């Protein structure tokens, strides 16, 4: 048994690609939080590589969305546009 406190987590810069990707999906309604995490990861991967389309990244995430994939992609695109990423 250890008595040491847990390691601290260094937060990413607000302008980092990771923060922007995960913030762009923060208001997408999903069945559970992990679905939103998968969606955020796929958006980050799409921003990093620019392969395929944003719609394909949303579909590939396999997130259980409470809205249509097209609606989610539109919301994400608008969020990224407002942050100057598109």
- Calculated CA dihedral for residues 34, 29, 83, 10, nearest 10 degrees: -30
Domain count, the chain: 1
Mean pLDDT score across all residues of the chain: 92
Distance CA 15, CA 7 (A): 24
Domain that holds residue 39: 29-82
Name the pTM for this structure.
0.84
Per residue in 17-76, pLDDT (tens digit) is: 999 999 999 999 999 999 999 999 999 999 999 888 999 999 999 999 999 999 999 999
Residue 11 lies in a domain: no
Residue 17 lies in a domain: no
Query: What confidence score (pLDDT) does residue 3 get?
Result: 82
Distance CA 27, CA 83 (A): 15
Residue 46 lies in a domain: yes
């Amino acid at each position: 048994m250890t008595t040491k406190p847990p390691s601290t987590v260094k937060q990413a810069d607000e302008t980092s690609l990771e923060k922007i990707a995960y913030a762009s999906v923060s208001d997408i309604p999903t069945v559970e939080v992990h679905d939103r995490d998968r969606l955020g990861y796929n958006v980050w991967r799409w921003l990093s590589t620019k392969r395929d389309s944003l719609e394909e990244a949303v579909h590939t995430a396999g997130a259980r969305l409470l809205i249509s994939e097209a609606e989610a992609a539109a919301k994400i695109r608008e969020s990224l546009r407002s942050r100057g990423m598109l």
